[in-house]
Amino acid sequence: MPLSRHIDADSVIEQSKEHPHKKHLVHSRSGLHQSWSRDEDAQLVPKYELPAVGIPSRSAYHLIHDEMNLDGNPTLNLASFVHTWMPEEATKLIMETINKNAVDLDEYPASQVIHNRCVSMIANLWKAPKDAKAIGTATAGSSEAIMLGGLAMKKRWQEERKKAGKDYFHPNIVFGANAQVALEKFARYWDVEARLVPVHAETDFVMHPPDALQYIDENTIGVMVIMGSTYTGHFENVQLMNDLLDEHQAKTGLDIKIHVDAASGGFVAPFAYPTFKWAFDVPRVVSINTSGHKFGLVYPGLGWILWRDEKYLHKDLIFELHYLGSTEYSYTLNFSKPAAPIVAQMYNFLNLGFEGYRKIAIKDLRNARTLSRALEKTYFKVLSNIHKPAEKPATAVASEDDPENFQRGLPVVSFMLSDAFKAEYPHVQQVWIQSMLRGKGWIVPNYGAPPAEEKSEMLLRETLSADLIERLVTDILEVTEGLMSSGGLATMAAATSTVGLHQPDQVHGRPDQSNFADGAQGSGSEMGQSTYAKQC
């Protein structure tokens, strides 16, 4: 927790020294011989204010290095979609360009050329019309990209309302209650009413396009459709939403456009499902965002936002800047941004190509199916669908290497304890499984999801090999079976009472789930939490 300004740092440190758990520690080591003085240097550094005099560089490095060892292992962090590994050559390129500011066009023209080539490649990947002038930019992540996509919709709506002499002060935007918090941030930060469409188990916990129509009126600036739900990995139906909006326009005259939040799916769907229509080949889709630092396989943080044509990027968002001797055009929320992540994205495009990304997507989905089936055969119910056969398989003989033989989605495994298990072992809390897996090194969050159903989510990362998946399955089953015994329950109950183990809903859960279906409130029951995994 950050220190508040009113806290006296010196008193905090003194209280820390007087803590009963530290009464046996010796704070002075002046009598000990050291070959070098790292410990002594570290003792002199205040924790919560700038030191008056610095310490040697080697001591500063080791002090921070040792403290960072308290973090979890990124490879075993199954709680995040963010990528954590790149080849040695990519890391070398990043270090070579880490001091370059991508916004300085005169000083670093090659960085801008690489940026523009990335935008062009992504536009082509997303099937931008050849007769349109697609435009886009790199961002700090999908959150900034969503802000820009939403702002462009708001500005366009306001301009049309002003021309018609109508009220332009009460915009709203429509998206599912399963949306990632960045979508709600856009609405709150930019004074747009968020109209959350309730989601249901019958529709895979994602927005069902027919349900969205009742939330649309003349003040609607657009509909945001999610390609890859954070909760279960499902794709929302962009084409169906487009067709229903066509019918709605024919009845009401309202021309509602679509922004696709493809933070995760933007670098999965084109490779795993190349014939699937969801991008600029759907006429009402005017903008798409994605995260290069998710399935784009780049270190954090990098996002992308593209518009199908420059006319959808409202002129009010474009600033002409006379900076450092040149004229530049900016339409991002921030100004300076590092060139290194953009260079790393280009490295992946060149190194992997379409076929390389496709092979990774196929492997990711295959590993996720393996995990799904292993869990489903034991004590769990799997809610994600990528292991289930497609209604119309691509080939007569099912092939594990063709994602089209299975239902579409991200390589995500979302699961919960089965009804049969909960009936037989009613005192086993799902959060205990999360806590015990943490002891084995796995970071597997447990949180509530729409509509407050108990479930666990797992997202498998590219660096998680088949061997690690086997180890993960073994550890999950070992932990679960340990809790089934009376001894295991007693041990966990004792640990809960002594260390104050609690559910992490305040960390991982949504702050407000009142818009979810079935009247669910808050984070649901104590087992209504999820337990994550990662990207294969």
The segment with the largest mean pLDDT, out of 113-127, 199-213, 390-404, 494-508, is 113-127
- Among candidates 195, 281, 259, 203, which has minimal Cα distance to 235? 203
pLDDT over threshold 70, residue 13: no
Answer whether residue 487 is part of any domain.
yes
Contact 135, 355 (CB under 8 A): no
Q: Model-level pTM?
A: 0.84
Answer whether residue 418 is part of any domain.
yes
What mean pLDDT is reported for the chain? 84
Quick one: CA torsion of 420, 422, 423, 424, rounded to 10 degrees? 90
Q: Are β-strands 303-307 and 135-139 bridged in parallel, bridged antiparallel, or unpaired?
A: antiparallel
> What is the average pLDDT across 314-338?
81
Q: What percentage of the chain exceeds 70 in pLDDT?
A: 79
Q: Are residues 328 and 413 in the same domain?
A: no
Answer whether residue 21 is part of any domain.
no
Segments forming the whole domain that contains residue 209: 92-346
Answer whether residue 376 is part of any domain.
yes
Answer whether residue 532 is part of any domain.
no
As a whole number of angstroms, the distance between CA 254 and CA 520 comes to 32
Q: What percentage of the chain exceeds 90 in pLDDT?
A: 59
Answer whether residue 472 is part of any domain.
yes
CATH number for the domain spanning 421: value is: 3.90.1150.160
Q: Which residue has the higher pLDDT, 282 or 414?
A: 282
Q: Are residues 196 and 245 in the same domain?
A: yes
CATH number for the domain spanning 327: value is: 3.40.640.10
Contact 483, 432 (CB under 8 A): yes
pLDDT over threshold 60, residue 36: no
Q: Are residues 211 and 255 in the same domain?
A: yes
Q: Are residues 174 and 286 in the same domain?
A: yes
Contact partners, residue 119, CB within 8 Å, separation at least 6: 134, 135, 136, 137, 138, 304, 306
Q: Are residues 404 and 308 in the same domain?
A: no
Q: With b meaning 16 or more CB within 10 Å and e meaning fewer, what string describes 229-262? A: bbbbbbbbbbbebbebbeebeeeeeeebbbbbbb
What total number of domains does the chain contain?
2
Contact partners, residue 8, CB within 8 Å, separation at least 6: none
Q: Give the pLDDT confidence of 459-497 residue by residue, as tens digits.
A: 555 657 788 889 999 999 999 999 987 666 666 666 555
Other CB atoms within a 10 A radius of the CB of residue 155 amount to 18
Answer whether residue 231 is part of any domain.
yes
Residue 157: pLDDT band (50, 70, 90) is very high
Answer whether residue 64 is part of any domain.
no
Contact 243, 196 (CB under 8 A): no
pLDDT over threshold 70, residue 69: yes
Q: Are residues 228 and 163 in the same domain?
A: yes
